[in-house]
Amino acid sequence: MKKLYVKTYGCQMNVYDSARMAELLAPIGYGPTDVAEEADMVILNTCHIREKAAEKVYSELGRLKKIKDGRPLTIAVAGCVAQAEGAEIVARAPQVDIVVGPQSYHRLPEMIAKIAREGGHALETEFPALEKFDALPKDGSPAGVTAFLTVQEGCDKFCTFCVVPYTRGAEYSRTVLQIEDEARRLVARGVREITLLGQNVNAYRGEGLDGQPWSLARLLDRLARIDGLARLRYTTSHPRDMADDLIAAHGDNPALMPYLHLPVQSGSDAILDAMNRQHRAEDYLRLVERIRSARPDIALTSDFIVGFPGESDKDFEATLQLVRDVRYASAFSFKYSQRPGTPAAAARKQIPDDVKDTRLQALNALLLAQQDAFKQSCTGRRMDVLFEKPGRKAGQAVGRSPYLQSVHVDGADHLIGQMAQVTIDGVYPNSLKGTLLRQKELAH
Ligand code: 5AD
Ligand code: SF4
């Protein structure tokens, strides 16, 4: 058995793709290893979203070169850097054998065979999305309690800072039949919670069971009927695509978790316009109100970019104000990074790095305070916890709350793979502590 080491950078879709690549290579004799030094083949599944993410790949390639100097090793670069840079990667790092984009990785087995036969390099960066999903293996390795499932890929929004429309291509939705089949297989392998993935997941318009395009809400309704599937989530959404039926689903679909990642990026109308986000700050606030009236206990999270070209102190203050108005459960914030080929990269009014640093710190302080307040507000609450694995202490199990928080519970190790109600009675830096409700309490 040959050994495969896969290193994943970036988003959850890369996590999904990495698992699919490992499954594709299993039938041709590759088993997983966590140690690059032991591997016969290494796949770096890369991210191009910010400069830092992309640069990490080249430092890892430097490390791999040293291993390869001593013995045979096949090196593949997959993911969004592969898509964006293509043959440039081999020019800069000749130790790379294979470059394969996110829509062509189903061709990995033939690419491996080709370089074994002919030597040299293999490169695939086409966009045959339809073909990819058909070509992926149907049954993979044993799954855990939670799983990702890609339902939509690509993006047609063209936010002016973002590489995704170029690296992942145009929007494409898988059919309901194909998704339901994959979901059922996951549940049969023990999965209880599925997160539907898409770069613009709420723009999902896949062919439904009646041959008509179905919305994400209809897809979620269909999947919620699968026996044994307890929880559904979806990510990432664009505010413009939060359709009425999807908002309503947050009130009506009991499997849908009260947790929504809804990136806004900025609270300034001028910056939102320059980013081509196609909505104003006010529209976002109204949307949040509507979502909260459908599901009052929903927790919201977001992404923010500070130091977008032309961002003034006033624009940044508008972002802070929006954060104060919304009250997030948690959020990610990033310094704007100039990405090659995107419109904003060419803008004249780039913001100096020290200004970006100061703004990032101020925003993070506010978001951290909100995150802490949300966590504290969980104490004393009853929540369903889906148990995923044993904890460090004997008898302890660790699961997830509806809000994706890790919850440690004593005397729950017999409940792994199941859901149970707990009372939250402690807050740790990165998790919560809960106590199982006794049967008697559950009756009330
Ligand atoms: N610079 C900084 N952050 C970016 N993001 C996307 N592109 C850039 C960029 N050029 C952030 C956005 C997006 C998240 C996944 O990454 O906030 O929502
Ligand atoms: Fe990028 Fe905007 Fe598309 Fe999100 S919606 S992937 S930020 S272009």
Q: Is 39 in the pocket of ligand 1 (CB under 6 A)?
A: no
Q: Ligand 1 pocket check: which of 52, 160, 161 to mutate, most ligand atoms within 8 Å of Cβ? A: 161
User: How far does residue 211's CA lie from ligand 1's centre (Å)?
Assistant: 35
Surface-to-core class of residue 380, CB atoms within 10 Å of its CB (0-12 exposed, 13-18 middle, 19+ buried): exposed
Task: Work out which ligand 1 atom sits closest to the CA atom of 339.
Answer: 10
pLDDT score for 438 = 73
Contacts of 64 (CB under 8 A, 6+ apart): 36, 42, 73, 75, 95
Cβ of 155 closer than 6 Å to ligand 2, yes or no, is yes
AA identity, residue 190: G
Q: Which atom of ligand 1 is nearest to the CA of 304?
A: 17
Supply the DSSP symbol for 18: H
pTM of this structure? 0.94
Cα–Cα distance for residue pair 412/188, rounded to 1 Å? 23
pLDDT score for 97 = 97
Query: Does ligand 1 have an atom closer than 6 angstroms to the CB of 162?
Result: yes
Q: Check if 23 has its Cβ closer than 6 Å to any atom of ligand 1.
A: no
Alpha carbon nearest to ligand 1 atom 16, residue: 49
The residue whose CA has the least distance to atom 5 of ligand 2 is 157
Probe ligand 1: pick from 303, 330, 338, 353, max atoms within 8 Å of CB?
Answer: 303
Q: At the top level of CATH, which class does the domain 382-443 belong to?
A: mainly beta
Fold of 2-128: Rossmann fold (3.40.50)
Whether 142-257 shares its CATH topology with 258-377 is answered yes
The confidence score (pLDDT) of residue 442 equals 56
Cβ(199) – ligand 2 distance below 6 Å: yes
* Rounded CA separation 396/195 (Å): 25
Mean pLDDT by 10 residues, the chain (444 residues): 96 94 95 95 97 91 94 96 94 96 94 94 81 80 87 96 94 97 95 97 97 98 97 98 98 97 98 98 98 98 98 98 98 97 95 98 98 96 96 96 97 95 94 85 54
The rounded Å distance from CA 268 to ligand 1 centre is: 16
Q: CB of 50 closer than 6 A to ligand 1?
A: yes
- Using CA atoms, how far apart are residues 203 and 430, in angstroms rounded to an integer? 32
Q: What are phi and psi of 98, to 5 degrees?
A: -130, 135
The response to whether residue 164 sits with its C-beta less than 6 Å from ligand 1 reads no
Cβ atoms 389, 406 nearer than 8 A: no
Give the ligand with the smallest distance to the CA of 341: 1
Q: Ligand 1: distance of its center to the CA of 351 in Å?
A: 16
Which residues, in sequence order, are bridge partners of residue 231? 193
C-alpha 359 to ligand 2 mean position (Å)? 22
Cα 50–Cα 53–Cα 57 angle in degrees, nearest 5: 140
Q: Is residue 344 in contact with ligand 2, taking CB distance under 6 Å? A: no
* Ligand 2 pocket, mutate which of 158, 204, 264, 284 (most atoms under 8 A from CB): 158
- Between the CA of 117 and the centroid of ligand 2 the distance, in Å, is 40
Beta bridge partners of 147: 194
- Does the CB atom of residue 264 touch ligand 1 within 6 A? no
Query: How many Å separate Cα 291 from the centre of its chain?
Result: 21
237 alpha carbon – ligand 1 mean position (Å): 14
Ligand nearest to the CA of 166: 2
Q: Both tokens of residue 2?
A: 């040959």
Q: Is the CB of 163 under 6 A from ligand 2?
A: no
State the pLDDT at residue 65.
96
> Ligand 2 centroid vs 159 CA: distance in angstroms?
5
Class of domain 258-377: alpha beta
> In the chain, where are the structural domains located?
2-128, 142-257, 258-377, 382-443
* Topology of the domain covering 142-257: Transcription Regulator spoIIAA (3.30.750)
Cα gap 86→273, rounded to integer Å? 32
Going by alpha carbons, the residue nearest to atom 17 of ligand 1 is 303
- Does ligand 2 come within 6 angstroms of the Cβ of 200? yes
Q: What is the pLDDT of residue 441?
A: 59
